[in-house]
Amino acid sequence: MIELFPMIIPIIRSIVFAVVVFVVGMLIIGWINKVVSKFVEKKGLDATLKPFVKTLIRVLLKIILAISIISILGIDTASFVAIFAAAGFAIGLAFQGSLSNFAGGVLLIAIRPFKVGDFIEVSGYIGNVEAIQILYTNIVTLDNKVIRIPNGSLSDACITNYSEKDTRRVDFQFSASYEADFEKVIRSLSDVVDKHPLALKAPTPFVRLSEHGESAMIYTVRVWVKAKDYWTVYFDIIETVKKRFDEENLSIPYHQMDIHIHNKVVT
């Protein structure tokens, strides 16, 4: 047993040293992450890059720590790298989804089809972009659910960005009975639009009779607004038109309302 001590002691020493390095290394990584976080916040780095940079640095530091521990345990890192390279094809197949997501994340950061804070619609999901990480992009839905979409599929998807432009057009279609004076209806709709403080004057609002329906006349209203005011204007005008039609004794065929007042994506 005594003869084994010279062999066991170096092994125990290496294991203890590796454990110490692991603990200290994780503490250092945590400290570096805090420093990096403060640095990117202080430098005012783009909000889209922040989570990506933080995650990438954290992963790289952990890889360096893992290689250091392997070296301390007496495993030849050169041999380890050679073995890893030899098994690269198999590993690549096993992690091809993750590699695709990483490449997709880099592509999203480079091309910038959207940024953190934008309201987008993609792959059947609608919400605000919360973070673009190295493998996934987090989208917060309108009911406050977090959807994590793989960057690989996201980079290949058709994306609707509702926040990219400063202005948007709000479209309405209102119904009025055939008995109603269509010129009076147009004047009433135009007045409602013109008096709304958030409706832009240019481009000029569009108010016209657009369709002879089966049981009602259909009027199309198009108003340009700032993107952030979209839904305020949308609901304000719908409510105001109802009040105005009541005041003007303009008959509304209620069975037509669900058909001809078109809802849009909430922003």
Summarised one tens digit per residue, pLDDT across range 58-69 is 778 887 878 777
Q: Which residue has the higher pLDDT, 178 or 18?
A: 178
The whole-number pLDDT of residue 79 equals 59
Please check the confidence at residue 256 and state whether its pLDDT lies above 50: no
Question: Mind spelling out the 3-state secondary structure of 166-223?
Answer: CEEEEEEEEEECCCCCHHHHHHHHHHHHHHCCCCCCCCCCEEEEEEECCCCEEEEEEE
39-67 average pLDDT score: 72
What's the pLDDT band for 22 if we cut at 50, 70, 90? confident
Element (H, E) at 238: helix 230-247
The whole-angstrom separation of Cα 129 and Cα 219 is: 36
Contact 113, 159 (CB under 8 A): yes
The whole-number pLDDT of residue 265 equals 46
> How many CA atoms within 13 Å lie on the side-chain side of 38?
5
Buried b (16+ CB within 10 A) or exposed e, 12-45: eeeeeebeebeeebeeebeeeeeebeeebeeeee
Q: State both tokens at 234.
A: 């949308």
Element (H, E) at 71: helix 49-72
Cβ partners under 8 Å of residue 105, min gap 6: 52, 132, 133, 134, 135, 137, 151, 155
Peptide bond connecting 6 to the previous residue in cis, omega within 30 degrees of 0: no
Where do we find the tokens 């058909």? 259
The whole-angstrom separation of Cα 122 and Cα 189 is: 34
The whole-number pLDDT of residue 242 equals 92
Q: In angstroms, how far apart are the furthest CA atoms of the chain?
A: 110
What's the pLDDT band for 180 if we cut at 50, 70, 90? confident
Residue type, 191: D
Domains of the chain: 6-86 (1.10.287), 98-161 (2.30.30.60), 167-260 (3.30.70.100)
Please check the confidence at residue 97 and state whether its pLDDT lies above 70: no
Helix (H, G, I), strand (E, B) or coil at 139: strand
